Structure 1
Amino acid sequence: MTTTTFSVPGIGCATCKKAIERALAPAPGVAAVEVDLAAKTVAVCHDKPATVARLIELIEGQGYDVAARC
């Protein structure tokens, strides 16, 4: 398993957190998702077939820009 953390500056509320968790949690290969509203980060514990590109796509699909990979 690998943990990848993303900087997502647009998140800031419980609804944001829930939307991202709902998008990422069921994705194949994702074991855990942790959204830190204060730090504006999303940490994803994953294995194949969840690729970094796919995780970014899922986050951005919820309307949030991924600023960087931490």
Structure 2
Amino acid sequence: MDTVTLTAPDISCEHCQRAIEQAVGALPGVTSVTVHIEPKQVTVVFDPTAVSLERIKVVMEEEGYPVTAVTAGSAPR
């Protein structure tokens, strides 16, 4: 499993959180999605043999939350 943290500046509320968790969480190979409203980051745990990071980024953009930065590992709590 890989863990990445995606920064999406348009995350602002619980609606954003639910939309991202549902859309990204529905992808095959994604085992965990945690949205941090502040600092506008999403931590995703996924199987890279089942879904690519690029696909996750596309889904986030389709939901209206374009990704501006990607870092490996978990977001700060």
* TM-score normalized by the length of structure 2: 0.87
SS in 1 for 2:55: helix
Q: CA deviation at 1:50?
A: 1.3
Sequence identity, in percent? 37
Q: CA deviation at 1:65?
A: 1.3
Q: Within 2, Cα distance between the matches of 1:4 and 1:49?
A: 15
The number of equivalent residue pairs is 70
Matched, 1:49 2:50: yes
CA RMSD between the two structures: 0.7
Tell me which residue corresponds to 2:2: 2
Q: Unaligned stretches of 5+ in structure 1?
A: none
- Can you list the C-alpha shifts for 1:15-53, whole angstroms capped at 9, x where unaligned? 000000110111010000000001100110000211110
Tell me which residue corresponds to 1:21: 21
**Off by >3 Å, runs of 4+ in structure 1:** none
